[in-house]
Amino acid sequence: MKGIRLAAAGTVAALALAACGVDTGGTGGQSSSDARELTVTAFAGPWGELFKKSFVEPFERDTGTKVNLVYGANAEWLTKLRASGGKNPPFDVIAFTPDASRPAVAAGLLAPLDSAKLTHYKQLDPVLLSKSSYEGKQYGVPLTTGSLGLLYRTDKIKKAPSDWRDIFSKEYCGHVALPPLTYNPGLEFFSALVAQDGGKMSDPAAVDRAFKELEKLKGCVSSFPANAGNVSTAIENGDAWIIPFWDGRAFAMEQAGTPAGFVYPKSGPVGALTSYFVTSGSQNSELATKFLDYLTAAQNQKPFAQGTWYAAGNDSISYDKAFEDRIEHGPQVFEKFNWVDYTVATPKLNEWQQRWNQIFG
Amino acid sequence: MTRATRRWRGAGYVLPLVVFLTALFLVPLVQLLRLSFNPVDAYNAALPGFTLSHYGRVLTEPYFYGALLHTLLTAVLVAVLCVLLAYPAAYLLAGRRPGTLRTVLFVIVISPLLTSVVVRTYGWVVLLSGNGVVNRVLVGSGLIDQPAQLLTSYPAVVVSVTHVLLPFAIIPLTTALGGLDHNLHRASQTLGAGPVRTFLRVTVPLSLPGVVTGALIVFALAMGIYITPLLVGGVTEPLAGIRVYDQVTTVFDYPVAAALSFALLVITLLSTTLLGGAFRIWERRLYG
């Protein structure tokens, strides 16, 4: 009998534990029927705090609206939005990077924008706007864009790298950090490798060439960071000397005292955009559009961009010298960026990650 | 009070728990099962309908079935290590008379459970990093020239997961060893058996229920663990929990994540049932 009891206890424990494996997400905060309340998402951490100060506080002060900020990240918001099915969504205004906005638009979870209602629409960067435009309709407005380049330890690497291929240098073997393709900088770096000789992600031969390039890093990678915290830890602890990463995070790390440098690769950095959208079925769509108006205003975007070290979506901003000296921005710059083609990458991601794992797993 | 009334009153006591588990565990579990059979569109959003393709992928693509196999082997290894490490500690604890020292020792043993698993795991990250304590000692003592790659290695994952789950083996083992009748030890020694023989022929067999319970709990926890291996081993560690996490957070393919979760659940159930069954057979042979 003891055996039966043990097995039963083990079974119950196993059931309970296995059930904890997937978090499908709850419904989160519901949008209020009171039109003076708005639910807005923001990425957690200092980014979110600065977002509150730069956009939410002025909006609340001027309109008397109460903004409920929901901190988190793409995945959980998309889960909750999918659960709502476009009816009575848990958020009115949502932040997405293109990897999440494309599936959300395809599922009808984001509402097209009426650009005539946005005072600053014409000041927004056309290249960045085009990244949240699908099937000829504008869905989102750009907040900021990061640029993926090479972050490196200045005390370990004396001669700064200049282009993507430098990461393959034998000098750095054993000290390279490589994000997997399932973490945005990993896919963005892969996209840069695909584009090196004019290749496109939709071309299987170009993808094969990029994997061949990646193979050169086999045995040279010291860590595979899968989030920004892991990247900071790897660089600060000295586990890694060089990694493809975003300019804003790199400069913030440098400001915090880490001996870190950043270069925009000669052959072109990769864009990493955050846009804001109004959700389909929002009960507060008018107010949500008004919030986007605040979000795109130059005077609000400027302190946010300078605080996060990411270029803002509004091209009319006159940045301070320290920012201007370091951050590349503007339509000509964004035009030359390499942008990940998520219409190709999203359906292929599992397959590519498997190939990636065969090299590094 | 009639027997039937007593029975209904007994049922009433467990009713809140049954309602709680049904609403927050069984219903979501059934929904998850349903999701695992839904087809997906080009962007992995679930569509109405029925398909077995996600289970087909889980069972045929090395990315998924390799992770299930690796998880199973890792869970077995961690369970064995936990039992081996927990036994001496539990033996020491059970042998102490109730008092301050025993309480202090017990608190030390269960103290890891009082802190967040993330905090405990970051402790390992600090220890094993490039300029962490372990590497500094190894380089400082001249044993190695360059810091060793300790993080993102499989041994680091096994060690950290073993550490995190060790209390779950110690607690049932301490209970089992503490419940042993010491007259049996005395009888064994009176009949001529030495301490080693008494330990092997009396203590170990009688503590086996604790060993099996501890191993089952650790095994089941290790099958679904992902935070510790993710932080220490990185996202490339081919464990099923990390693959599920990846499917949900970056590929946004919930039906495949659900199918992989259920495959993991079935393997865990089968393994625990087999281990429990084997123990039952052994017990029957021993006690008749």
Contact B250 A75 (CB under 8 A): yes
The count of CB pairs under 8 A between chains A and B is: 192
ipTM of the complex as predicted: 0.71
Q: Does B264 touch chain A (CB under 8 A)?
A: yes
Contact B261 A360 (CB under 8 A): no
Percent of chain B with pLDDT over 70: 99
Nearest chain A residue (CA) to B247:
A350
In angstroms, what separates the C-alpha of A303 from chain B's closest C-alpha? 30
Q: What is the pLDDT of residue A31?
A: 42
Contact B129 A100 (CB under 8 A): no
In angstroms, what separates the C-alpha of A349 from chain B's closest C-alpha? 7
Strands (E) across chain B are located at none
Q: Tell me if domain A37-145+272-336 and domain A146-269+342-360 are identical in fold.
A: yes
Pick the CATH number of A37-145+272-336 from 3.30.420.40, 3.90.209.20, 3.40.50.11600, 3.40.190.10: 3.40.190.10
Is B19 within a domain? no
Contact B63 A237 (CB under 8 A): no
Number of helices (H), then strands (E), belonging to chain A: the values are 15, 12
Q: Does B194 touch chain A (CB under 8 A)?
A: no
Is B3 within a domain? no
Cα atoms in the Cβ-side hemisphere of radius 13 Å centred on A70: 21
Contact B254 A24 (CB under 8 A): yes
Is B177 within a domain? yes
Is B44 within a domain? no
b/e code A196-231 from CB counts within 10 Å (16+ = b) = beebebeeeebbebbbebbeebeebbbbbbbbbebb
Contact A23 B241 (CB under 8 A): no
Chain B 126-155, residues with CB within 8 Å of chain A CB atoms: 129-132, 146-147, 149, 151-152
Q: What is the pLDDT of residue B228?
A: 93
Contact B254 A78 (CB under 8 A): no
Contact B129 A238 (CB under 8 A): yes
User: How far is residue B40's CA from residue A349's CA, in Å, rounded to a whole number?
Assistant: 15
Q: What is the pLDDT of residue B288?
A: 67
Q: What is the pLDDT of residue A104?
A: 93
Is B47 within a domain? no
Map out the domains of chain A as residue ranges. 37-145+272-336, 146-269+342-360
Per-residue pLDDT tens digits for A54-108:
999 999 999 999 999 999 888 889 989 988 888 889 999 999 999 999 999 999 9
In 3D, which of B79, B72, B73 has the Cα closest to residue B215? B79
Which residues in chain A have their CB less than 8 angstroms from residue B42's CB? 106, 346-347
Is B125 within a domain? yes
Is B125 within 8 Å of B232 (Cβ atoms)?
A: yes
- Separation in Å, CA B246 to CA A183, A190, B226: 9, 18, 11
Identify the CATH number of the domain in which residue B224 sits. Answer: 1.10.3720.10
Which residues in chain A have their CB less than 8 angstroms from residue B70's CB? none
Could you tell me which residues are beta bridge partners of residue A137?
Answer: A134
Could you tell me which residues are beta bridge partners of residue A275?
Answer: A96, A142
Is A62 within 8 Å of A88 (Cβ atoms)?
A: no
Contact B276 A7 (CB under 8 A): yes
Nearest to A17 among B62, B224, B275 (CB): B224
User: How far is residue A315's CA from residue A326's CA, in Å, rounded to a whole number?
Assistant: 16
How many structural domains comprise chain B?
1
Is B25 within a domain? no
Which residues span the domain enclosing B201?
Answer: 62-287
Q: Span A146-269+342-360: which CATH code?
A: 3.40.190.10
Is B12 within a domain? no
Residue B204 vs residue A27, higher pLDDT: B204
Q: What is the pLDDT of residue B263?
A: 97
Q: Give pLDDT tens digits along chain B (288 positions).
A: 677 788 888 888 899 999 999 999 999 999 999 999 999 988 888 999 999 999 999 999 988 999 999 999 999 999 999 999 999 999 999 888 878 888 888 888 888 888 888 888 888 888 888 778 898 899 899 888 877 878 878 999 999 999 999 999 999 999 999 988 888 888 998 998 888 999 998 899 999 999 999 999 999 999 999 999 988 888 778 999 999 998 888 888 999 999 999 999 999 999 999 998 998 898 888 776
